A = this chain, B = another copy of it.
């Protein structure tokens, strides 16, 4: 398996066609996986916003005040309002905001980015990252490049382990997971691993070579990796009934 960053992509602007920009610069072959960072997908989709776009609700005011009290840092209630508007559930409301976005991803501040946003205050995640991935895949087909799986990636933290790692937000042309259930090990025992989240693993692998900051590149080509002969699943985001941690968080609140 080989990972190659796509270099020399320009700063992406609203309306830019990511598929064409990548097709012009990357060596892509049938069977490759292309990962694209959600930041550039969001920029192409015009998901920049300004804090003045968010008239503050009572709830956002309350959240920002409480976070100011806990952290001793200034908190803009308009930012809290933006987080609320991007979310369907607030899992943790202090000492930081952990929410479920409208497409099911759980992240701090609904994944809203305050760095890397020229001319605007904030960058929202793509509205429907799987549709974004499908558009890029179709765009590549329109350039004559067939059979490329596309993953829209992000980085985020997680419980139990420090640090952030690459994750998938949306995907097209492949399943999210390999389902090993029913497959056997060398000795004929059923395997311990049941479902392998390959889109997340590909996003993590890609994040190793993209880099962040001034030298960063948002797209990576993965070659010589195959999904293989396994059943597939497209369930990636856990619903609350499948997630004891979400259930525990519903009953818990931070003690200021």
**In the complex, which of the residues B2, B95, B249, B251 contacts A1, with contact meaning CB atoms closer than 8 Å?**
B2
Q: When the two chains form their complex, are residues A162 and B198 in contact, meaning their CB atoms are under 8 A apart? A: no
Which of B176, B187, B243 touches A160 (beta carbons < 8 Å)? Answer: B243
Q: In whole angstroms, what is the CA distance A183 to B216 when docked? A: 12
Most buried by B among A235, A244, A246: A244
Contact among B183, B196, B205, B216 for A155, CB-based, below 8 A: B196
Within 8 A of B (CB), among A96-126: 106, 113-116, 118
Q: How far is the CA of A201 from the CA of B183 in the complex (A)?
A: 26
Q: Which of B1, B165, B192 contacts A197 (CB 8 A)?
A: B165
Docked-complex contact A161 and B200, CB < 8 angstroms: yes
- Known contacts A116-B186, A158-B158; is-contact A208 B247 (Cβ 8 Å): no
Cross-chain contact of A165 among B2, B162, B200, B252 (Cβ < 8 A): B200
CA distance A67 to B251 in the complex (A): 22
Q: What chain B residues lie within 8 Å of A194 (beta carbons)? A: 164
Interface size on A, residues (CB 8 A): 72
Contact with B along A240-255 (1 / 0, CB 8 A): 0011111111011010
0/1 string, A194-235, CB within 8 A of B gives 1: 111110111011011101111010000000010010000101
A15 at the interface (CB under 8 A from B): no
The answer to whether A201 touches B208, judged by C-beta atoms less than 8 angstroms apart, is yes
Tell me the minimal C-beta distance from A7 to chain B in angstroms: 14
Q: Which of A183, A204, A252 is packed against the most chain B CB atoms within 10 Å?
A: A204
A118 to B248 CA separation, bound complex (whole angstroms): 38
Complex interface: chain B residues within 8 A of A197 (CB):
161-165
- Jot down 25 A-B pairs with beta carbons below 8 A, ordered by A: A1-B209, A2-B2, A114-B192, A115-B192, A116-B189, A158-B158, A159-B159, A159-B245, A161-B237, A162-B177, A162-B197, A163-B177, A163-B197, A164-B195, A164-B196, A165-B201, A166-B201, A183-B213, A184-B213, A185-B212, A201-B207, A245-B245, A248-B249, A248-B251, A248-B252
The interface of chain A, by Cβ under 8 A from chain B, is 1-3, 11, 92, 95, 106, 113-116, 118, 155, 158-167, 176-177, 180, 183-187, 189-198, 200-202, 204-205, 207-209, 211-214, 216, 225, 228, 233, 235-238, 242-249, 251-252, 254
> What 3 A-B pairs are tightest by C-beta distance, nearest first?
A163-B197, A205-B205, A159-B245
Beyond A193-B212, A201-B207, A209-B225, 11 extra complex contacts between A and B, CB < 8 Å: A115-B185, A115-B190, A155-B193, A162-B233, A163-B197, A163-B200, A165-B197, A184-B213, A185-B213, A186-B216, A208-B225
